[in-house]
């Protein structure tokens, strides 16, 4: 007996079930059977995730998409990403199949993708307790990967097209909401939040003249994989937040979350990516931090006590030219 998908009728009911392995495993097996793909002996969950993800011990990953929690946009982004990334020689999963749990249904058909696994271990596991030399070497590997990602042709039909409006629309939505959100989140002192609106440039000015590139907007430590013995980044996963946009946007989650705002790691990555750091880089990156789609200031940041203004905050977080940053 398959679990009843009809009980998922809202964001709230989906949230209760989304990472419940016992609920989704029968459906994952059903999906694999419908595609004629082999069944694993055991499925496991990678932990908390936006979409149900089940990893089989046979190297197959099943990822399902609901109509809630941005499921349709996530499916659109990932579907285009796998098309665009196919054959590019990057360490990303291979799309092995796609289907629907409820084909022909009047409502949501519960689409799913079947992917291959990547090698290595998540960034968090690899770098926890690792020495400085290992961290810097892996940061350079991340930078090289981002440099290669930048040059992948944007051949998607909608989201990952050079003319896609999705990235600009996202920034404008965030521009309108960010001050209110930061008041609610409370990660920054009130006097800094009060200054955000005047600090932020118009979105058109921020991205004006920028040639769209392939951007991964959620480069946190569960989406990057590495092999510490080889000193190599071995995998990049989860393409829910892919854009034809500005390279700088992808650095926000990477630096403030994965790198823990360590400017030495950021400097190593930027150098390896071949990114020219301008004199206004800290201010540009703080602007993108405020415009990011995630609550990026909740991460392990430096002590911000005594920060007087946003220009100072920009340099504390993002200035890779200061002594000690490299």
Domain with 83 in it: what CATH number? 3.30.200.20
| Same domain? 215 vs 103 | no
Q: What is the mean pLDDT of residues 113-140?
A: 91
| Same domain? 128 vs 104 | no
pLDDT digits (tens, 9 = 90+) for 231-274: 889 999 999 999 999 999 999 999 999 999 999 999 999 999 99
Q: Would 74 be classed as within a structural domain? A: yes
Q: Which of 181, 218, 241, 262 is catalytic?
A: 218
CB 133 within 8 A of CB 265: no
Euclidean distance between CA atoms 18 and 238, whole angstroms: 16
Neighbours of 4 (CB within 10 A): 8
Q: Judge whether 218 counts as a catalytic residue.
A: yes
Predicted local confidence at residue 324, as pLDDT: 55
Euclidean distance between CA atoms 25 and 9, whole angstroms: 20
pLDDT digits (tens, 9 = 90+) for 137-189: 999 999 999 999 999 999 999 999 999 999 999 999 999 999 999 999 999 99
- Statement: residue 299 has pLDDT above 80: no
| Same domain? 219 vs 107 | no
- Statement: residue 3 has pLDDT above 90: yes
Predicted local confidence at residue 231, as pLDDT: 80
| Same domain? 283 vs 188 | yes
CB 237 within 8 A of CB 290: no
Predicted local confidence at residue 228, as pLDDT: 79
How many domains, the chain? 2
Q: What is the mean pLDDT of residues 178-204?
A: 95
Q: What is the mean pLDDT of residues 37-44?
A: 97
CB 281 within 8 A of CB 318: yes
Predicted local confidence at residue 229, as pLDDT: 80
| Same domain? 155 vs 291 | yes
Tokens describing residue 156: 């998607």
| Same domain? 295 vs 185 | yes
CB 226 within 8 A of CB 120: yes
pLDDT digits (tens, 9 = 90+) for 65-109: 999 988 999 999 999 999 999 999 999 999 999 999 999 888 899
Neighbours of 276 (CB within 10 A): 7
Element (H, E) at 78: helix 71-85
Predicted local confidence at residue 321, as pLDDT: 87
| Same domain? 241 vs 304 | yes
Share of the chain above pLDDT 90, in %: 84
Which residue segment(s) compose the domain that 298 sits in? 121-318
**Average confidence score pLDDT of the chain:** 93
3-class DSSP state of 263: helix
Out of 71, 101, 116, a domain closes at 116
Q: What is the mean pLDDT of residues 297-309?
A: 86
CB 266 within 8 A of CB 305: no
| Same domain? 142 vs 42 | no
Predicted local confidence at residue 325, as pLDDT: 56
- Statement: residue 323 has pLDDT above 60: no
| Same domain? 183 vs 245 | yes
| Same domain? 70 vs 145 | no
Q: Is 42 exposed, middle or buried (0-12, 13-18, 19+ CB in 10 A)?
A: exposed
Q: What is the mean pLDDT of residues 190-196?
A: 96
| Same domain? 91 vs 130 | no
Out of 67, 96, 116, a domain closes at 116
CB 77 within 8 A of CB 69: no
Q: Would 214 be classed as within a structural domain? A: yes
CB 43 within 8 A of CB 21: yes
Rg of the chain in Å (alpha carbons): 20
| Same domain? 105 vs 140 | no
Out of 116, 135, 152, a domain closes at 116
SS3 content of the chain, % helix, strand, coil (to 5): 45, 15, 45
Element (H, E) at 204: helix 203-207
Going by C-alpha positions, the residue among 220, 221, 257, 262 that lies closest to residue 241 is: 220
């Amino acid at each position: 007996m398959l679990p009843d998908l009809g009980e998922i009728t809202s964001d709230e009911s989906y949230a209760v079930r989304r990472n419940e392995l016992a609920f989704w495993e029968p459906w994952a097996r059903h999906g694999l059977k419908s595609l004629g793909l082999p069944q694993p002996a055991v499925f496991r969950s990678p932990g908390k995730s936006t979409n149900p993800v089940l990893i089989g011990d046979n190297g197959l990953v099943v990822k399902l998409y609901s109509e809630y929690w941005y499921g349709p946009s996530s499916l659109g982004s990932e579907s285009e990403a796998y098309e665009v990334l196919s054959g590019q020689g990057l360490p990303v999963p291979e799309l092995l199949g796609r289907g629907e749990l409820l084909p022909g249904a009047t409502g949501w058909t519960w689409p799913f993708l079947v992917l291959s696994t990547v090698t290595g271990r998540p960034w968090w596991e690899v770098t926890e307790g690792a020495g400085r030399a290992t961290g810097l070497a892996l940061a350079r590997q991340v930078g090289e990967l981002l440099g290669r990602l930048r040059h992948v042709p944007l051949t998607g039909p909608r989201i990952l097209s050079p003319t896609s409006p999705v990235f600009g629309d996202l920034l404008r939505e965030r521009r309108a909401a960010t001050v209110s959100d930061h008041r609610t989140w409370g990660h920054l002192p009130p006097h800094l939040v009060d200054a955000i609106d005047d600090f932020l440039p118009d979105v058109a000015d921020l991205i004006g003249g920028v040639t769209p590139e392939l951007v991964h907007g959620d480069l946190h430590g569960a989406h990057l994989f590495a092999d510490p013995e080889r000193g190599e980044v071995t995998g990049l996963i989860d393409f829910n937040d892919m854009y034809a946009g500005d390279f700088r946007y992808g650095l926000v989650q990477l630096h403030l979350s994965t790198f823990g705002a360590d400017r030495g790691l950021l400097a190593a990555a930027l150098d390896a990516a071949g990114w020219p750091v301008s004199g206004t880089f800290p201010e540009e990156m703080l602007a993108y931090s405020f415009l990011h789609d995630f609550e990026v200031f909740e991460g392990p940041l430096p002590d911000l006590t005594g920060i007087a203004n946003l220009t100072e905050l920009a340099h504390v977080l993002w200035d890779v030219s200061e002594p000690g940053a490299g």
